[in-house]
Amino acid sequence: MVSNEFIPGVVTHSELNPLLWQGNSLRREVKQALMQIARRFYQFLAVDAKVIDVIVTGSQAGKTYTDQSDLDLHLIMNYAEIACDDQTPAELLDTKRKLWKLEHSIHIHTVPVECYAEDLNRPVQGASYSLIKNSWIKESATPQGQPADVTATTTAWCRVITAALRTRDLEQMQRVRSLLKTYRQLGLDLEGELGRANITFKTLRNMGVISSLIQSIQHQQDQELSLPD
């Protein structure tokens, strides 16, 4: 069931999250904990490429975080150094990232940590802070509030997703999920993290709409693989 409660994808603040930051720098214990997580994640990835940098990015590196915002921890490496047989480095690392997420639930002062391995040649677009250099790569822009029409686009996507869920058609639900991912990525490329598409996506996520879609897809996949009694 899709929730009707509107939960904003961004909330503007006058300062960085004080749970993680002291002024404009990461708290010492936070940095130490994140570096330990990064080392464990790198060991889990088990690839030959060296780590060029470790950065934090996303809403928790800016002033638009919410109670649902993750702390995005990125290991930066050169994908060209990773040898793969049957898939691309991006596919391999994304699969391992998802496995890591299934096996771990890590929080820093109540903030959940999401780990990623990203390519050196695809730099993060938004605010980012280097743990290795202990300095900003790109500081957070001053938040201007929620972009116009986010409520309208969120409502429209809710209707589309609700209609897909009611069909219980696996192909239809997968198509909607793919369209939503494309919508967000195009928005990130054109408008950045504070653009309408990304904020709409985050609002849908905060409302539980995206998790409902994913769970329904997984349930339908299981049903199609099962034999009735």
Residue 50 CB partners (closer than 8 Å, separation 6+): 77, 78, 81
Q: 157 in a domain, yes or no?
A: yes
Q: Give pLDDT, residue 4.
A: 58
CA distance 201 to 79: 28
Residue 103 and residue 46 in one domain: yes
Q: What is the CATH number of the domain that holds 121?
A: 3.30.460
Q: Which of 138, 173, 197 represents a domain boundary (last residue)?
A: 138
Amino acid identity, position 183? Y
Q: Which of 78, 113, 138 represents a domain boundary (last residue)?
A: 138
Total domain count, the chain: 2
Residue 26 and residue 102 in one domain: yes
The position carrying tokens 């199609």 is 224
Residue 60 and residue 87 in one domain: yes
Question: Domain range holding 134?
Answer: 21-138
- pLDDT tens, position by position, 44-85: 999 989 999 999 998 899 888 888 889 999 999 999 999 887
Residue 95 and residue 32 in one domain: yes
Residue 103 and residue 158 in one domain: no
The position carrying tokens 């202990």 is 134
Q: Which of 193, 133, 222, 55 is nearest to 214 (CA)?
A: 222
User: If you average pLDDT over every residue of the chain, what do you get?
Assistant: 90
- pLDDT tens, position by position, 117-153: 999 998 887 889 999 999 999 987 665 666 668 888 9
Residue 126 and residue 161 in one domain: no
Residue 122 and residue 194 in one domain: no
Q: 6 in a domain, yes or no?
A: no
Rounded to two decimals, the pTM is 0.76
Q: In the predicted model, what is the mean pLDDT of residues 201-209?
A: 89
Instruction: Tell me if 129 sits within 8 A of 137, measured CB to CB.
Output: yes
Residue 42 and residue 86 in one domain: yes
- More confident site: 178 or 63: 178
Residue 38 and residue 125 in one domain: yes
Q: 36 in a domain, yes or no?
A: yes
Q: Which of 104, 138, 172 represents a domain boundary (last residue)?
A: 138
Instruction: Tell me if 115 sits within 8 A of 58, measured CB to CB.
Output: no
Is residue 1 scored above 50 in pLDDT? no
CA distance 86 to 81: 16
Amino acid identity, position 3? S
Confidence of residue 25 (pLDDT cuts 50, 70, 90): very high
